[in-house]
Chain A
Amino acid sequence: MEAMAEHSQETRVTGESGADKIQERLQRRHQARAEDAERKKEAKESRSVAEEKSEYFSSTFNAERASIEELLSSCSGADRAVVTQTLEEATVKTLQLQKFLNDSMLFLTQYELRRAQDALQKLLTSSADIREEALPKKKFAFRARSKATDKVSAPPVTDTPAVTDSTKVDVVAPAESVQCCFSNMDNVCVIKTAEEIHKQDVLLTHLTNCKVRLFGSPSTLHMTHIDNCEILCGPVSSSVFVDHCRNSTLAIPCQQLRTHNTTDTQVYLHITSRAIVEDCRGVGFAPFTFSYPTLDEDFIVSGLDRDRNNWSQVDDFNWLAAGTPSPNWTVIPEADRKTNWEL
């Protein structure tokens, strides 16, 4: 507005030389505009980051990759400590490179991205190979057995070694660790009382033609490789695992039941959540009817809700079709249910 006013005033005052003035003015305007555009362009260029260019990316990436490859190749023939250190360094560098790639993902083309990822993958595999070759992984093994034999063969003379030993007995062999365990039995009748299995983990494994009575409340119950057995158990406060079991009869109250690889087995169940079967065939379910004198007390110990029994709600993990029932398990018809149990 101001410029306009000024302009009109000038034309009025200067009269004929006005045309020249206007020309000059227009010229100036044009120049100012051009300068302005130039300035804007410069500003824009200075704002865009040099790092967000694919040339910069590929040169940096390749340089970094080459240095990692060099590190890796220097591993061959070196001794263990050196290899460990070099591998560590290579891993750190690879991770940095991965991060760099991730950060650059936004401005890379699909092709560049894929190539970079392939290269990284190659680096990872080769470093894993070298690690495998130069530093074979120490396999985890339970140690207590050797400790135990140590102790037997060389009884501690002073008190100190005994103390260090006892702190080490954390990792113990599976069979010893499960506090109550029956395995490899044929044609035996096993009876356990409440005192013996109170809040213990119980493991039954490789039993054939056996009768097992567990009176009391275990914490968890594992059963594997059970053939033609009758297993009756008091209330289990958490989970019951059944694996590789066939032609057997089980009666258990529990919070969860996880049945695997089991065929032709009847389960008399009291369950407060839902039972599951996985890779099973011909598993029948019926409500828990077995009873023994101290059952009520054991129910209290286990903390299970006696009024909540979902025995017929079974999820088959191999049968995810909604609507049609799983062919792998059935409800045992009432007429066929076992009603009298021998203790």
Chain B
Amino acid sequence: MGLLTILKKMKQKEREMRLLMLGLDNAGKTTILKKFNGEDVSTISPTLGFNIKTLEHKGFKLNIWDVGGQKSLRSYWRNYFESTDGLVWVVDSADRLRLEDCRKELSSLLLEERLAGATLLVFANKQDLPGALSKEAIQEALALDDIKSHHWCIIGCSAVTGKNLLAGVDWLLDDIAARIFTTD
């Protein structure tokens, strides 16, 4: 038995994952985090800095990092890349004006070496709004089909109603678990 196998076994015992949630400002990152954790979402302010939540889901311990998306904070995103197992990219589906910005930010993230091993989940958020683009339109606008370097999946959701948040996180956990935990 090699040392690596031992280490993997240890990690498996802890079943701990680190998820990093990023996206442009007003995408709904904090709302997703709070809704997922069952907290009140009506008084959320724009995030100045970051939020961390540790929660148990499906027998995994999730450390979720939600970092503010304002322009002046984006340069700090890289401080959070280290040992990220899953990247959650949140898109405001109703914000058509900044989709191109959104695509650029995402594609520059995917070039990042320290995120090379991470699984990518794209949340097309705010599907409850009448003006929201469908998840297929977001998929095209962000050129997700060109991504060859990461496992990815796009899920339409609404942080306000909570719709599809679980489905997204479950997919992410399954994908990460299949990758980092050895199945005996």
**Measuring CB to CB, which residues of chain A are less than 8 angstroms from any residue of chain B?**
47, 49, 51-52, 88, 91, 95, 98-99, 102-103, 106-107, 117, 121, 137-138, 140, 142, 170-172, 174, 177-179, 199-201, 203, 219-220, 222, 239, 241, 255-256, 258, 260, 272-274, 276, 278-279, 303, 305, 308, 315, 317-318, 320
A258 surroundings in chain B (CB, below 8 A): 25-26, 46, 70
CA distance A97 to B2 in the complex (A): 19
Q: Which of B2, B117, B140 contacts A171 (CB 8 A)?
A: B140
CA distance A138 to B145 in the complex (A): 11
Q: A98-B117, A219-B94, A278-B72 are in contact. List 17 more A-B contacts (CB 8 A).
A: A91-B148, A91-B149, A138-B143, A142-B96, A170-B136, A219-B131, A220-B94, A222-B97, A256-B44, A258-B46, A258-B70, A273-B45, A274-B46, A279-B72, A303-B42, A308-B43, A320-B48
B134 at the interface (CB under 8 A from A): yes
19 A–B pairs (Cβ distance < 8 Å), ordered by A = A103-B4, A106-B3, A138-B143, A140-B140, A170-B136, A170-B137, A171-B140, A171-B141, A172-B96, A219-B129, A241-B26, A272-B42, A276-B46, A276-B48, A278-B70, A278-B72, A315-B45, A318-B72, A320-B48
**Measuring CB to CB, which residues of chain B are less than 8 angstroms from any residue of chain A?**
1-4, 7, 25-26, 42-46, 48, 68, 70-73, 94, 96-97, 99-100, 103, 113, 116-117, 129-131, 133-134, 136-137, 140-141, 143, 146, 148-149
Binding site of B, secondary structure by majority: helix, strand, loop or mixed?
loop
B113 to chain A, nearest CB (A): 7
- Are A140's CB and B2's CB within 8 A? no
State the 10 A-B residue pairs at the shortest beta-carbon distance, nearest first.
A274-B45, A273-B45, A170-B137, A317-B72, A276-B46, A171-B137, A315-B48, A91-B148, A174-B96, A49-B2
A99 surroundings in chain B (CB, below 8 A): 117
Q: Which of A201, A241, A278 contacts B131 (CB 8 A)?
A: A201
CA distance A241 to B98 in the complex (A): 12
Q: Which of A107, A140, A273 contacts B103 (CB 8 A)?
A: A140
